[in-house]
Chains A and B, each alone.
Chain A
Amino acid sequence: MMRIIEPGMRSAVQDFGRFGYLSKGLTRGGPMDEHAFLWANRLLSNHFNAAQIEITLGGFEVEFDRDCQCAVTGADVQLTLDDEVLNTWQNFKVRAGQRLKMGYASAGVRAYLAVQGGFQVEPKWGSCATVTRDSVGGLHGDGSFLKAGDELSFNEQNYQVSRRVGWAYRSDYQKTPVIGLIPGFQYDAFPMSAREAFCYEDYEVTKDSDRMGIRLSGKALEYNGEGLVSEGVNVGSVQVPANGQPIIMMNDRQTLGGYPKLGTINPFDLGRLAQCQPGQTVRFTRIEGKVAQQQLRRFYQFFNVRLACQADDNLRS
């Protein structure tokens, strides 16, 4: 068992997400940074969908009452096991009674704590992903964040050899990221000036960003097209509200929306975007859907991701 001593601001259980209920208005949830999440599971030879804890901006502490093996990936945080300083992006052994402590994120936003075998949390509609706005998932099933005293159980341990993620596979969260945009939705209805501004100007991530959307500030994007009737919104969709400041819709997005959209971010780059701290600059560049799709397929294949519709009945009925 692992007990939460200091929960941090918005720590919550996430698996890969809740699929198959979008038509009922239930959003996907899941890790904001799939890249870091999938690496944490891989370091422990876990199933790709094994439940982890997503920790926002650090400031987190837990105590274990049994031996286990863990890994922390994502944001740059100082990690200590009792008095021993550990590296992130590697697996490590924990003995019963030890405390794992995470400092505040110096770069990046979201850290992932995985345990070998995954945390055992009862799924709701096929997933234990915590979605606060839908009051669903997580340790208590109601979408709430973890709090001090919460206890998470995990399965039998089967130790792995020491592993770490090579630098070549890690992102430098301090560098200005260049994020791919796949043109789509109302792209053709935006004036050339807006399309160019989005891909040639710098944008800044604002502090209002959350798991629903990464809000940007920068050159306002004009839209002179017709008003829109509400339609589906994908994770990564670049929504442009009336003030022209784009919002990248993230895992806890609304399933429908009525704002015009320039297109959708390359899913492979979304995790990097999720790691941008408020005030950080981001740049966008156009990418062909075909290229993004090949990249996504290779990424999923590398991590043995299997996609399936969890609401099978929903699709058949």
Chain B
Amino acid sequence: MKEESDFPKLVSAGADAVIVYLGEGISVSVNQRVLAAVKAVKEQLSDVVLDLVPSYNSLMVYYNVLNIDEPEIRERLRKALADLSSDTNELSGKLHRIPVLYDESVGPDLARIADMNNCSVDDVIKTHTEQTYRVHAMGFAPGFAYLGEVSEKIRTPRLDNPRKRITAGSVAVAENQTAVYPSASPGGWNIIGRTSTQLYDPSSGTISPLNVGDEVEFYAVSKEQFIEEGGDTEALS
């Protein structure tokens, strides 16, 4: 196990990027430090930074090579990250509430999760909606947010045979993570429902409002409400 003093650790990520490691593994406290790093870099290096990609325990910093070289940005990053804010209140993200139709027609793995965890489908829904999740990372596909942590009561491994096509808006669970598929894609997570909230739609210019560090809660809606809000009821098998 590395000491906390090993972090932040700066490592080359190419001719135009540096990756900053803020700690090891997956935890809220490390992710919180990532968030503090994002804030510090935005405040102090916005003149040279082109893009920032926070993840579970790291922060990728893409910078403008026309304005700054690697030794100089490392120096500025070290300074900016030397004294990361530990005021977690100041850093708390936004809370997003996402409506979900939990129904076996659009959530074909509800029964599988109930079976594997010796509970009822209603218990699965109740457990999934009780928790407040944190956005640990965003990526894989546009608008895809990795949310943790799912209660031990309903943790379920990925499917052995991933589905070839999952409908956009599908709400999914895999082990200790949950997520919404922003667009139709293949995938191996367990599908438990569907939201009418759009998280990625290039034609209307919609991109997920979620950011790393934000919080997400899911709440159950009726089929009528779901349809009223423009939800797609096409069954998924």
Contact surface of A with B, Cβ cutoff 8 Å: 19-26, 124-125, 133-137, 141-143, 182-185, 229-232, 234-237, 254-256, 263-268, 289-290, 292-293, 295-297, 300-301, 305-309, 311, 315-316
Contacts and interface: CB of A to CB of B under 8 A. Distances in A.
Contacts of A134: 141-142, 202
A268 B109 CA distance: 48
A67 B146 CA distance: 52
B232 interface: no
Given A182-B15, A254-B139, A289 B202 contact: no
A289 B57 CA distance: 24
Given A133-B141, A264-B13, A308-B64, 7 more contacts: A23-B138, A25-B208, A124-B205, A134-B141, A141-B202, A230-B56, A236-B14
B212 interface: yes
B104 interface: no
Contacts of A26: 142, 207
B144 A307 contact: no
14 contacts: A19-B51, A21-B142, A25-B138, A25-B142, A134-B202, A137-B202, A141-B203, A182-B15, A229-B26, A230-B56, A231-B19, A267-B16, A307-B64, A307-B66
B70 interface: yes
Chain A interface mostly: mixed
Pairs A-B, 6 closest by C-beta atoms: A232-B60, A256-B139, A264-B14, A184-B12, A232-B53, A136-B202
B69 A293 contact: yes
B211 A184 contact: no
Interface string B141-185: 111101000000000000000000000000000000000000100
B51 A20 contact: yes
Chain B interface mostly: loop
Most buried by A among B49, B59, B66, B212: B66
B51 A309 contact: yes
Contacts of A234: 13-14, 16-17, 60, 62
Interface of B: 11-17, 19, 25-26, 42, 46, 49-60, 62, 64-66, 69-71, 137-144, 146, 183, 202-203, 205, 207-208, 211-212
Contacts of B62: 22, 234
Contacts of B140: 25, 254-256
Given A24-B138, A135-B183, A293-B70, A125 B207 contact: yes
A273 B192 CA distance: 43
B189 to A, nearest CB: 15
B70 A289 contact: yes
A229 B13 CA distance: 16
A24 B50 contact: no
B14 A230 contact: no
A256 B135 CA distance: 14
Contact of A309 (B12, B50, B66, B208): B50
A297 B55 contact: no
A16 to B, nearest CB: 12
A232 B55 contact: yes
A229 B16 contact: no
Most buried by B among A24, A183, A295: A24
A230 B49 contact: no
Contacts of A229: 25-26, 55-58
Contact of A24 (B13, B49, B146, B207): B207
A305 B65 CA distance: 11
A229 B50 CA distance: 24
Contacts of A254: 139-141
Contacts of B64: 307-308
A135 B66 contact: no
Given A22-B62, A125-B205, A237 B70 contact: no
Nearest to A287: B15
A289 B56 CA distance: 26
Nearest to B185: A133
A232 B13 contact: yes
Nearest to B182: A25
Contacts of B66: 297, 300-301, 305-307
Contacts of B143: 24-25
A264 B65 contact: no
A118 to B, nearest CB: 21
Contacts of A316: 42, 46
A237 B56 contact: no
A8 to B, nearest CB: 24
